[in-house]
Amino acid sequence: MNESEVIERAEALPELYADRVRPEDLDGMRSMAGAGEWQELVDLVVASLGLSRAPVTAAERDELGSLLAAMDLPDGAIAALNVEG
């Protein structure tokens, strides 16, 4: 995954998970996306989904894991996600 793909995928995250994260986290995600803070955004999405125990699909989990790996971020929080389906 090249840098532009990472940015494109990360930029879509706030709206993709808008109905599954806390409103205050969503505000932060949108702010980070607007400022181009892609690593912080992906980290917050994973943390928020883990804390809320919102359901994610295996494909969504894998996509988030791929983004973390592409950004050289730790992926330990992926294990806390509530994977359904």
Give tens-digit pLDDT for 39-70: 999 999 999 999 999 999 999 999 999 999 99
Q: Which residue has the tokens 């988030």?
A: 64
The answer to whether the CB of 42 falls within 8 A of the CB of 10 is yes
Domain count of the fold of the chain: 1
**pTM confidence score:** 0.93
* pLDDT given for residue 54 in this prediction: 95
Give the residue among 73, 13, 4, 12 at the shortest CA–CA distance from 48: 13
- In Å, what is the CA distance from 74 to each residue of 20, 24, 25, 26? 22, 23, 20, 21
The domain in which residue 79 lies consists of 3-83
